[in-house]
Chains A and B, each alone.
Chain A
Amino acid sequence: NAGVTQTPKFQVLKTGQSMTLQCAQDMNHNSMYWYRQDPGMGLRLIYYSASEGTTDKGEVPNGYNVSRLNKREFSLRLESAAPSQTSVYFCASSADRGRYEQYFGPGTRLTVT
């Protein structure tokens, strides 16, 4: 049982390049989330998917797009990377209503030069 997996673990991009961060969970969870973590700012929600087929903006969606490919997978795309997007990105998932524990992936450390 792998839980939440993310790829890649590290990535360096040049300004203007694009990339997709992949996330998958094997816990049959309905809800999935993308966060970014910056020093002194905690976790900020970028996008979330309450259930398969739905996605919604979080606190800091600008510059990102997401796809809920199926129940297991939720990807985050940077179309034109900017230095301000240098951060650690975490994917998380949680089960349906009634219990809201989130399970986190190990994170992707992204540097944009």
Chain B
Amino acid sequence: GEDVEQSLFLSVREGDSSVINCTYTDSSSTYLYWYKQEPGAGLQLLTYIFSNMDMKQDQRLTVLLNKKDKHLSLRIADTQTGDSAIYFCAESRNSWGKFQFGAGTQVVVTP
């Protein structure tokens, strides 16, 4: 079964905040990541968090990690139409950095 789970779709109005959620199963995960994929392109790293952190903020992006519940979230403040994309949650599981990706959340920003 899938070890990283995400909801598949999120619709948000321009200017509102978006929250994308992810759950993972491996408690030994070292790093957790959020990637963005725009149509026809590869994945681009947005941000990542070490497993010993609870929160990371980077401009409009806030990542929250709840290790007890194995829950990761990405909040995008003041969502813009350029934020429309697929967002992937990923974890790396061991010391050399093998990755496990979720199925991706399609975010659609409406005017």
Contacts and interface: CB of A to CB of B under 8 A. Distances in A.
Interface stretch (B63-71, B75-83, B101-109): B101-109
Interface string B21-39: 0000000001101000000
Interface residues of A, number: 24
Contact of B103 (A40, A90, A94): A40
A75 interface: no
B80 to A, nearest CB: 23
A97 B2 CA distance: 25
Given A43-B88, A90-B42, A106-B42, A97 B101 contact: no
A44 B43 CA distance: 13
A99 to B, nearest CB: 9
Interface of B is mostly: loop
Given A100-B97, A102-B99, A107 B42 contact: yes
A interface: dominant SS:
strand
A40 B8 contact: yes
Contacts of B73: none
Nearest to B30: A100
Given A40-B103, A44-B101, A50-B96, 13 more contacts: A31-B96, A31-B97, A42-B101, A43-B88, A45-B99, A92-B43, A100-B30, A100-B33, A100-B48, A101-B48, A104-B43, A105-B42, A107-B41
Interface of B: 2, 4, 8, 30-31, 33, 40-45, 48, 88, 92, 95-99, 101-104
